[in-house]
Amino acid sequence: MSDMESFKINLKDLKEGKNLLEFDLDDGFFEAVGAPDIRKGNLHTMISIHRVGNTFQLDFHTTGVAIVQCNLCLDEMEQPVDAENRLWAKLGEDSSEEDDLVAVDEDEGILDVAWFIYEFIDLSIPIRHVHAPGKCNPAMMKVLEEHSASRRGEEEEEKPVDPRWAALAKLKD
């Protein structure tokens, strides 16, 4: 999906009441938005837009799988996504973004939701993403263990135990 024009919603053309839009997101979407954290995925986003005058309530529901990098072995892994988000938009004199309210220039009336969709997906993914136990790349895990062991050995050799702590340890026994 490289056609990013479909993510530009003309708010002035929406009818009063409820409007529904749907988007299928694939690797091309993440490439087109220049996504820094997620580069692949297969997701579906449904946007319910409720219009009352010049105010719009956009409810985003995104489900599917995003492909992210494992923090331990650096291999790709599937991360399930099921996100519900809300954004408010209004037609006004200038364009601006504040918290969850976006002001769209009334003369233009176009709201590009591509980056909002990406951010909502990114925020739904845990900060730390790691394969299930035993699923990480074994070669990378072996290298990681070797480096961790050598680092622990160096730290223990470099730092002698403070005699005050040794005295306290004797009291504990």
pLDDT tens, position by position, 95-130: 667 777 899 988 899 999 999 999 999 999 999 989
**pLDDT (0 to 100) of residue 1:** 42
Total-model pTM: 0.78
Q: Which residue is listed with tokens 């024009």?
A: 5
Alpha carbons 61 and 42: distance in angstroms, whole number = 14
Q: What is the pLDDT of residue 25?
A: 96
* DSSP code per residue over 101-154: EEEEETTT-EEE-HHHHHHHHHHHS-SS--PPTT-S-HHHHHHHHHHHHHHHHH
What's the whole-number average pLDDT of the chain?
Answer: 87
CA distances from 45 to 21, 32, 42, 84, 161 (A): 8, 16, 10, 10, 57
Kindly give the parts of the chain with pLDDT less than 50. Answer: 1-2
